[in-house]
Structure 1
Amino acid sequence: MIGQGCLEQDDLSSSINIMECPNVISINMSASTSPISVSWEEPTAMTTDGKRIAIFNQSHSPGTSFPVNSNTIVTYVFDDISVCSFNIVINVKQVISSPDACECEPNFTFLNCPLNITSDQPAFCGTVPVNWTEPTVIDGCGGSSSVEKTHEPGSEFPAGVTTVTYTFTDSFGNQSICEFDVIVPVVAVEDDSVPPVVSNCPAHIYEVLEPSQTSLIITWDPPTARDDSGLPVSLHQTHSPGDQFTAGGYELVQYTFTDAAGNEAVCEFAVTVYPNGVNIDTQPPTVPPTVYCPAVSYTPPIITVYVENEATSADYNFTWPTGATDNDGVTPTVIASHQEGIQSFPIGFHRTAIFYYDTSGNRKDCYQNILVRRQGSAPTPATVINCPQNVYLEIPEGTSTRVCWEEPVVTDDAGNPIAATLWQRRLHSGAEFFINGNCNEQFVGNTFYDYYGNVIRCGFSVTIRAIGHENLPGQWTQWYNRDRPGGNCDCDTTPSTACSNGEEPIDVQCETLAGDDWLTVGLIPSAPEKRGQVAYCCPRIGFYCWNRWNALYGQQCLDYRVRFKCPLQ
């Protein structure tokens, strides 16, 4: 309703209070044809226990320019439940020259300008139809209004966010605009098993007080997250940049990003403020050998639990490994992904996290692997059908593209689906890839476990390069062959001294010692039915070919070399 801010809350959000939701913002001007920049104090939300709730989604930001003679609904959504909405009305007096010269103040009232619409159908790599009730207006000047619109109800929309605009014009030339976003997910919510990807997660922050201080205001660049489903993610955070921290111990700062399917990604770091004169302790705890540290570990599972008969889960008495020590002599605090005691684990592979904290907030990330399986051996061997080939695309720098593939399926040797659990999927088909700089590379891995503990993998690479990268002026370095194909990989990484001026390389060439380009070896265009080498090649990282993924196709990484093009001095 025009004239007041509108708060929409249901029973689920009764513990959330929205503050400073603006009333209608009306700006009247005598003459203007240019859009008007409008600013306002953004609303905030708090839980009843004083925790700040981040903005889940918003239609506009302060400082946005609005067309003259427009009436726009601005919406803020908190925690995907509570809504603050208000109208911004830009009125410009229009003087009409005619035999019956008249003058009318713009006065439009929207009856049903839609809020943002989220489709319940995924687009995958195509489009889906989306319907809505078309907006209408009441014109205070009288007479009829014409309307121009960018989309019709029932139009087909691709994955992502598309803005729909309705522009109403009355007989005096006054205009009013209704805008809303149509949001289409890439993948069905129930099929989304990939958590959001967090960027810019801060490291541990250490500060020391001055003699006269008892606390400090600490700031940091907040992390962000994107979800490859195409839907926005919600955020819950325990602290905000600019909060005050006191000396003594440490405080954990957590940013929890949750996608529409409930998959979570957490950025966690400690803030430690020391009294004046105290030495900073940056050494993490020492942990026992019964857990795997650091987080990235490809060691086989160390705990095997068997289900009874045809059951699909088993109980296991989960305990935290003891014996961790620290240089300050105090036993570290343990925070784990599971509580101690009897836990039910479904068939499949599970990685449980155990974090050890010392009194300064230094953390050691450790993991225990648990495999739940049936007794005996599988009656039929499992394999992956339609595992995609490597993908290589070139797009304009600063743009993005969605990359599509057929998701792999686990079958027996006769092609029949078998009982298997998906442990890890790094990206969904239809994921959006951005080209920032000159390259974006991703390894797309799918790891399955059948009910008898056998691991089945499907992996391929996606490499996105900027169009015209090969034409950039520069100077090529020597060839580097820093690694051999034995062990985990043939990884010829970018040396920090590749470019003498310290800049990042602008291009790279990767080839085998026999002189075959890595793309020719990886894609094999002359024999598309044959599996190429799973690898990727980018200027900022160099070349990577992982043996554990290529072994799936009966091959080992070849021996590669790389050279880099550096910017001209």
Structure 2
Amino acid sequence: MCDLLSNYMYIIFTTADTVSPTITNCPSDIIANVEEGSMSASVSWTEPSAIDASGNVTLIVKTHESGERFGIGANTVMYIFADPANNLAFCTFAIKITSNESRAPTILFCPSNRTLEVDERSLGTIVSWDEPVVEDTGNVMLLIQTHVSGTFFTIGTTIVSYIFRDNANNMEKCSFSVTVTGDYPDIGAVNPLRQSEGSGGNGGTDVSYIALVLSMIAIVCIFIVVVLLYFRRKDKKKNIDLDVLAMSATNSM
């Protein structure tokens, strides 16, 4: 009976393990610097271990290997250990890679300033250019681009800018101006009454304005004449009706 009870208690205690393994030698956070002209660094560390009351611990997750190369920025390394009862223990630490490089990206080609002329009936024109070319020891990204090649530019001067940035946050800019020249179309340019310009320069605009005014005056005069004829005819008809009435009254007497 005592033997059965002791076996039963042994089973209870051995199946009720809720204690996680204990981590030993979990590395602290590591900061490393890249060599000049490189965008990554090799980092090594002493790998952690774990102990457990069961005497059996298994490493089930390891995100990175010691001696691995890491790019500029923050990286997280994780180890996870498990005992036979599936209790877990975690070891995590950060690896930060920095760069002392202060050299900005090099602009190999940046479009030059350009000037385009449009005729007097245009408000602007489409302008195209070759994209800038940039070089750097690491990765370069286009951070800002104010205009796209093939954009419509109105009359005036516009500044086009590109800003590039590398992984070390060094930046370089490429800028150029686009100038569109020309005269804005005047109102006479779209007037169907406008006549061809002579040597007087703005004579066409003056002629079209005078023609418009004369046309309006003619329309007003015609309207007045029609109104006068209408009322005159009405008054005449009224007088005839009065004469008829008078004659009828005389005959009745």
- TM-score bucket (shorter structure): 0.3 to 0.5
Q: TM-score, normalised by structure 1?
A: 0.19
**Between structures 1 and 2, the one with greater strand share:** 1
**Between structures 1 and 2, the one with greater helix share:** 2
Identify the structure with bigger relative contact order (alpha carbons < 8 Å, sequence gap 6+). Answer: 2
Larger radius of gyration: 2
Q: TM-score, normalised by structure 2?
A: 0.39
